Structure 1
């Protein structure tokens, strides 16, 4: 929706008190090609869900949505500079257009959210316009939640193995040990010994009963560089386990970036098994090999048959015959995987949807590798440049 609609007509049903809200206790319906603008609070106490057309929230003052029954809109846009505050959930069947101002929900009540139904999507999200609270999806398997705090958009990408009947997400720029927005706390010192440090800057709440991976990012405000002796390669996804009541490793399946900014995709897990997720680091190495080899380096591969750099040879793999190598493209898609790797990779994909013709091979470019040395209990990450 590129054209904004400013609607001065107010429709009232039920009763009005000092013209401070639109009370819907009767029968309002937005018909196809119809438009309804809210310039005041909405109190919804009856079914308001067979809507077509566009509903819009406009103005310079805070608009509150409350009532006993959640409204459902087909298309909705938000242009309220002082924010829209949901005290009751709002569902959307089609498009949410974020224009200006945030959509707030109570951070201590996960049952209230902006819910994107089966085909719902959004446009225009930004630091100035997003969900500052809980966003939700219904019957979806893949979705990027447009969540953040008052100042920044901090989305979370959920990729589920199947459709989730309901998934909810919120972001908190708060210390997990002592958050100000919720009653729960997640002490960053309560962690398994395989975690070095848990960040005290931010966390996400993501709930879904379907196994999934999540992708989250860090930026300069995340300040991961302030963690002593930390590099980007040491950043891992950790979660506060409901069962163990401590931070445990969820793990990474892909990662990119430097200590200032980047992203990481988790291993598959069940989000509802965890109260919160955030960034952790692996402990400083004490193993002799790890100390002498803080990184395995970056590599150059030119499989043209000239006898130079035709195969990917990674130094140190022989130290651990029980190992694995995984390669990812710049989109985080896995393109090669080998257990007990011994110099086999020549630029040909062997896994995933990117399995290409043996005559073509993978395209030229930069790839990310993940090496696991099981015998030494070490993991290394780096980059490979493939030259055609």
Structure 2
């Protein structure tokens, strides 16, 4: 078998020169076959129907270049000084991360390590992962093994349907002034319901199918440096391509403390956002706030059964002189009331949303901003409207 394999290589039109393997023929890895790359790969023809193992090995940096992405069944990476992809690689079965990162251009979302169909990976860790863009095709759930040069920082994508293509990369960079890309996401450009945007890290995830994402924070995220922050105040936020600002995506699940934890977002369409990261709900700081760090999040179901029919906040009795404003997740005001008691029942009373007053506002997450004039305080929180 090995003799036959070398004969096949001879007639495949392969040239190895200047420390690169140039594939311009009909190279194929047969079942139980193994092909090891110890030099750069330049691929210019379809390189697919492979059923064996392709490995990249060595202690010098390697590159994969060319105009056509090779497709492997199984692949492993043991390149201690990293392998750079200037051309995508498709993997149908197992990717084994042994040592060294798989690098892709962070400013080019068209080049990635692509886990196709049922492709999966093993061995990912802080020293062996994708530093750049990873992709998945033809599935609805995937955990991207992405990170930066120092740490594995995966993102889990759970889509509501089959996804033709989804890509993801992690950046340990300030969104306002990233060093790897030209686009910027100013952490001060945000809707009023967001207190602080992380200036330490962000992810780019793109998919046209509605999904939730799960991302985590760790000591390097430095959320403990945000004054008066409580773990329940950490929220998933995204840079909206439509409004060019950070808006709330929101959480459907959350766990952890300020040093380590994770949050699962509400469903959203990732391709509507250029970046995602962690934000916070701002907290007031004086005496009343010590006893009431938040006024909580609320559920409203105005169906006439007498339960949660209106938006009621018990603590407003402490400040009859108040004002209530309610916004949708794009920061558009849908309700406003001076000296609010419990008037909001899912209908707008302001702006262009009055056009839909007869049918009410659509189901989903909203956020409120209430000022307690008697106490000189301001609170923000979430409200879910159920139809």
TM superposition score category, shorter chain reference: 0.7 to 0.9
1:16 deviation in Å? 3.4
Tell me if the contact between 2:283 and 2:293 (Cα under 8 Å) persists in the aligned partners: no
1:249 deviation in Å? 0.5
- Distance 1:44-1:223 versus aligned 2 partners, 3 A rule: same
Distance 1:189 1:43 in 2: 44
Alignment of 1:239-254 (within 5 A): 239-254=238-253
2:123 is aligned with 1:124: yes
Tell me if the contact between 1:11 and 1:22 (Cα under 8 Å) persists in the aligned partners: no
Distance 1:152 1:138 in 2: 25
Tell me if the contact between 1:317 and 1:373 (Cα under 8 Å) persists in the aligned partners: no
Tell me if the contact between 2:295 and 2:315 (Cα under 8 Å) persists in the aligned partners: no
Alignment of 1:129-278 (within 5 A): 129-278=128-277
Secondary structure, aligned partner of 2:188 = coil
Distance 1:38 1:155 in 2: 27
1:74 deviation in Å? 0.4
Q: Which residue of 1 aligns with 2:56?
A: 57
Distance 1:103 1:125 in 2: 11
Q: Which residue of 2 aligns with 1:66?
A: 65
Q: Which residue of 2 aligns with 1:300?
A: none
Tell me if the contact between 2:63 and 2:84 (Cα under 8 Å) persists in the aligned partners: yes
Distance 2:14 2:28 in 1: 17
Distance 1:55 1:207 in 2: 28
The RMSD of aligned alpha carbons is 2.8
TM-score between the two structures when normalised by the length of structure 2:
0.74
Distance 1:227 1:76 in 2: 43
Distance 1:281 1:21 in 2: 49
More off after superposition, 228-237 vs 149-158: 228-237
CA deviation vs aligned residue, 1:44-78 (integer Å, no higher than 9, x gap): 01110110011100000111001111000000000
Secondary structure, aligned partner of 1:16 = strand
- Distance 1:373-1:184 versus aligned 2 partners, 3 A rule: closer
Distance 1:156 1:8 in 2: 41
1:158 deviation in Å? 0.3
Q: Which residue of 2 aligns with 1:26?
A: 25
Distance 1:138 1:109 in 2: 18
Distance 2:367 2:276 in 1: 26
Tell me if the contact between 1:219 and 1:262 (Cα under 8 Å) persists in the aligned partners: yes
Tell me if the contact between 1:62 and 1:85 (Cα under 8 Å) persists in the aligned partners: yes
1:290 deviation in Å? 5.7
Tell me if the contact between 1:8 and 1:37 (Cα under 8 Å) persists in the aligned partners: no
1:289 deviation in Å? 7.0
Tell me if the contact between 2:15 and 2:23 (Cα under 8 Å) persists in the aligned partners: no
Tell me if the contact between 1:138 and 1:164 (Cα under 8 Å) persists in the aligned partners: yes
Tell me if the contact between 1:218 and 1:260 (Cα under 8 Å) persists in the aligned partners: yes
TM-score between the two structures when normalised by the length of structure 1:
0.74
Gap regions ≥5 residues in structure 1: 1-6, 298-315, 321-371, 381-388
- Distance 1:374-1:150 versus aligned 2 partners, 3 A rule: closer
Distance 1:373 1:135 in 2: 34
Tell me if the contact between 1:64 and 1:87 (Cα under 8 Å) persists in the aligned partners: yes
1:287 deviation in Å? 11
Alignment of 1:260-339 (within 5 A): 260-285=259-284, 292-294=291-293
Gap regions ≥5 residues in structure 2: 297-311, 317-365, 371-378, 383-387
Tell me if the contact between 1:9 and 1:37 (Cα under 8 Å) persists in the aligned partners: no
Tell me if the contact between 1:10 and 1:38 (Cα under 8 Å) persists in the aligned partners: no
Distance 1:294 1:8 in 2: 70
Distance 2:74 2:42 in 1: 19
Distance 1:123 1:215 in 2: 20
- Distance 1:15-1:102 versus aligned 2 partners, 3 A rule: same
Larger Rg: 2
Tell me if the contact between 1:290 and 1:378 (Cα under 8 Å) persists in the aligned partners: no
The ranges of structure 1 where at least 4 consecutive aligned residues each deviate by more than 4 angstroms after the TM superposition are: 7-13, 286-291, 316-320, 372-380
Distance 1:84 1:8 in 2: 25
1:126 deviation in Å? 0.1
1:105 deviation in Å? 0.3
